[in-house]
Amino acid sequence: MSQQGGEYIAPAGSRLSAQVPEGWADQIAAYQRGEFTPVPPRHAATVVLLRDRDAAPPEVYLLKRASTMAFAGGFYAFPGGRVDPRDADAEIAWAGPPAAAWAARFGSDEAEARALLCAAVRETFEESGVLFAGPDEHSVVADTTGEDWETDRRALVSRETSLAGFLAARSLVLRTDLLGAWARWITPEFEPRRYDTAFFVAALPAGQRTRDVSGESETTAWMAPRQAVDDHIAGSALMLPPTITTLRDLCAYDTAADAVRAAAGRPLKPIMATVDQRPDGSWHLEWEL
């Protein structure tokens, strides 16, 4: 894959490559010389929200991160963020596959798997107002737009409350069965901020609406995956490799339910870039997909 003005062009096959952005060369060279120890990646989770349209492919929900953000400022991304230690709370009301089943999918222990699912649901609610929870294991809340919901959302953002505490106060059950594990990407070792991010896909629950509530975004948009890819290629939408790769993968599905079902069969082997210096001296990142 080559990169020009933010464009990533994937070749046929299972490898992905991109020229390193200007300014990273010295950092990578120092890493190659063994002059610093890689920072351990922090666990994170992100959710690709999908909604169906009449006689058209499903759309995805994208946030344009504020240009002032230290990580990926100005880039389009899906709702998501870092795991909070309280996301591993075993007392949370839970519906869907047990934590042990999710742990088997991610190759992790149950506490880590539970934290990833809870972080995915919490961050999605914090950044879009969409909540994967309901009064019981067969239902989901239909409207989260009232001021009382907004008060709870802000309390989650400020960490005044945990997801488990928020759900317990409203007698709600976490609906993990609505999420499909899609991929796992790890930030390259030479970067100062590193994340081990679980990607999930999910259909927008009936009745719920996304809201531009995140202070971390400049704008939000629903668009077809193909349109998002085309905008990226045209240079009008900057995206990191995990985002554009996910969007390209989703172009193959006709409905949101098709994509969520397909998640069950996807491998979750961690994807992390390696670096290679070309004869002309330029550095390139390569991913094994």
Cβ neighbours, 10 Å, residue 179: 27
Q: Is the dihedral of CA 161, 162, 165, 167 positive or negative?
A: positive
pLDDT by residue for the chain (289 residues), tens digit each? Answer: 333 334 444 443 466 677 676 667 778 888 888 887 888 999 999 999 999 998 788 999 999 876 665 555 678 999 999 999 999 999 999 999 999 999 999 999 999 999 999 999 999 999 999 999 999 999 999 999 999 999 999 999 999 999 999 999 999 999 999 999 999 999 988 888 899 999 999 999 999 999 877 666 678 999 999 999 999 999 888 888 899 999 999 999 999 999 999 999 998 999 988 888 788 877 778 887 7
Superfamily of chain region 2-288:
Nucleoside Triphosphate Pyrophosphohydrolase (3.90.79.10)
Number of H helices, E strands in the chain: 8, 16
Could you state, in order of their start, the residue ranges of all structural domains in the chain?
Answer: 2-288
Tokens of 101: 């089943």
For the entire predicted model, the pTM comes to: 0.89
Strand partners of residue 250: none
- pLDDT for position 15: 67
Asked if 201 and 124 touch (Cβ cutoff 8 Å), the reply is no
**Spatial distance between the Cα atoms of 237 and 194, rounded to a whole number of angstroms:** 23
